[in-house]
Chain A
């Protein structure tokens, strides 16, 4: 996303620190997280996605440019397991990006957890990415970069046959907190919804261009 690169400045997403992407449901925060993981795997790194809700959809992630063979997906069954997983991944230092999807557990990380994780991330240079609803004050305090996703504005199109199609949507992301750029700056993306039912890019999968 070149516009996001311009928004964040030359430093981009800071390594060895905590970055929070927050917003309400259907705000575009997962899309942003997948874009960061795609950048990590494209450079040959290994990423991790902690997915307690089992919501990571492989065809969509592959379509976003993620090499899924370089992604460790952890599916913790409770909050304690999620904390153990993120601790192991950040301490290990093998993953360039560790994404924690808070999902249904908005307060999975408390202040002391954040302090420990940030200290470990600094040592290993891991990008600790937390996808949240934005209600966790500890995360807001410890994050050196906070990106707010404002929501996906759908673009409907009336078809010639009288039916309607979802042509695309517009997402807006602004910087809520940052050390390298001015808070309050925002950027909007326009996106095309994939084919049929909107679940995946049917044409690509049907043509066999995804050799996974």
Chain B
């Protein structure tokens, strides 16, 4: 088996190049790219921006370089440019990875044309898109990246098995160092990768902890991180056309099961999952099916799709049925072996909510939240939020202190009467506590209430109030 070879392409000054593609009139002028809407930090400079460094503020940068033009970073344009580059590089190797803006890898193992010619072709492809880049081939990703960075706009090929020797004279700063580690290496007199590679791992770990193992591995040319090839997002779709339009749910379900099985098989074949499936009837009626968790299980998807379809009051004549699923991530490998119970619980929750949504108005299925900061009036002290998706419940984690402690003193529940119900003025009686004045909204529509706790003639313990504005009495709640 031949050792793997990985090619790395680094587009120099990528942010600047992307901006120049959009505004070619700025070519030749000193240019700097600032991060974010507020443009508070310089993240890229052109060759002409002498004296401007990464990390400066725009004001500092303009002071350092007269005539400097500062532009905001265009992340969307960078993404688009990277996509073009990756599309082009797919002609060079089967697996292409976009690692970072302006940096990409592709598999260079057993290239038929040879490594030098392959890199030359890659450079030509990228140059055709308007970018200047450096390229290198090595045994691992880290060595290839270092070789490309030090190539200075040319091509570098590290021979197979020569990674450690190649890396040895390079500076420590090429490592992905944690904050502060660079200074500590400098204090220890360790300035090249070769010096770190030569040290035993034990003493290094004593000073740098678990990170030292990673540093040493990279410095010795032992980076074993695999390529993570990009997967173009493809919406999986399957259709079924009936010979004649049907208006019965049974044949529709039969066709639906087949379509979902095909879509799920395509998802599983690409190790993908989806969290939402769309069923389109006759190309104009869209039925969304929201899953509790990303899955490629045809059974789970069909179960929810069936509930959604059967809940429809009228089923029009259907000639064509289409199922669409957009992948939302990669399937965790063999998760069911370790998390089977939780997975089935989430599936059951999704089915339950789907049934509820089918049986009731979705606005009637809610989650309550106390909102004491909003108001002190009992009827305004809570908020009902419709449960839009099963994730609303399954992704929640209990935070410490969110709940009353288990040994909390028992207190009677109050059954709220919302809106407060008018009642006749209670007779003067011995067993009554209050008034407790509650005032609110004095700045717009003043509310003045005098609350009382009292028992009614039947013995029920009530919370009532007298509205100071009109003098009427209202029932606010019943202790139960």
- Chain A residues in the interface with B (C-beta under 8 A): 1, 24-31, 34-35, 38, 41-42, 44, 46, 53-77, 81, 84-85, 87-89, 91-95, 151-152, 154, 156, 163-166, 169, 171, 189-194, 196-201, 204-206, 209-212
Contacts and interface: CB of A to CB of B under 8 A. Distances in A.
B368 A58 contact: yes
A210 B370 CA distance: 9
A68 B383 CA distance: 11
20 contacts: A26-B478, A28-B412, A29-B480, A41-B403, A44-B398, A59-B372, A64-B411, A65-B403, A65-B404, A66-B403, A72-B352, A72-B387, A75-B366, A88-B355, A91-B352, A151-B459, A194-B411, A198-B414, A198-B453, A199-B381
Nearest to B464: A197
B271 interface: no
Interface residues of B, number: 68
Nearest to A33: B413
Interface string B84-118: 00000000000000000000000000000000000
Contacts of A211: 399, 401-402
A163 to B, nearest CB: 7
A74 B364 contact: yes
Given A25-B460, A72-B367, A89-B352, A212 B402 contact: yes
B412 A196 contact: no
Contacts of A200: 372, 378, 381, 414
Contacts of A189: 410
Contact of B382 (A26, A58, A72): A58
A74 B363 CA distance: 9
Given A69-B367, A154-B431, 12 more contacts: A42-B403, A53-B415, A58-B370, A60-B414, A88-B359, A89-B356, A92-B353, A93-B352, A94-B348, A199-B451, A199-B463, A200-B378
Contact of B359 (A75, A84, A171): A84
Interface in B423-437: 431-434, 436
Among B349, B372, B436, find the residue whose CB has the most chain A CB atoms closer than 10 A.
Answer: B372
A205 B438 contact: no
Contacts of B451: 196-199
A61 to B, nearest CB: 7
Contact of B384 (A25, A73, A164, A194): A73
B479 A198 contact: yes
Contact of B433 (A1, A152, A156): A156
B412 A171 contact: yes
B368 A92 contact: no
B64 to A, nearest CB: 48
Nearest to A191: B410
Interface string B391-414: 001001011011111101111111
B431 A72 contact: no
A54 B431 contact: no
B307 to A, nearest CB: 9
A45 to B, nearest CB: 9
A26 B476 contact: no
A66 B382 CA distance: 14
B370 A74 contact: no
A77 B411 contact: no
A163 B381 contact: no
Contacts of A70: 393, 396
A62 B404 contact: yes
A54 B379 CA distance: 10
Nearest to A163: B433
Among B366, B414, B465, find the residue whose CB has the most chain A CB atoms closer than 10 A.
Answer: B414
Interface string B333-371: 000000000000100110111011011110011111110
A72 B356 contact: yes
Contact of B409 (A69, A93, A191): A191
B286 interface: no
Given A26-B479, A76-B364, A57 B413 contact: yes
Contact of B393 (A25, A46, A166, A196): A46
A69 B396 contact: yes
B404 A71 contact: no
B367 A95 contact: no
A205 B411 contact: no
B433 A55 contact: no
A191 B479 CA distance: 12
A149 to B, nearest CB: 8
A55 B76 CA distance: 50
A69 B480 CA distance: 23
Given A57-B378, A60-B413, A88-B359, A65 B406 contact: yes
A154 B459 CA distance: 9
A100 to B, nearest CB: 14
Given A27-B480, A199-B476, A57 B348 contact: no
B461 interface: yes
Contact of B352 (A30, A56, A92, A199): A92
Contacts of A28: 412, 480
A131 B409 CA distance: 23
Contact of A25 (B368, B418, B478): B478
Contacts of B478: 25-26
A71 B463 contact: no
Interface in B458-480: 458-463, 465, 476-480
A90 B238 CA distance: 34
Contacts of B353: 72, 92
A166 B433 contact: yes
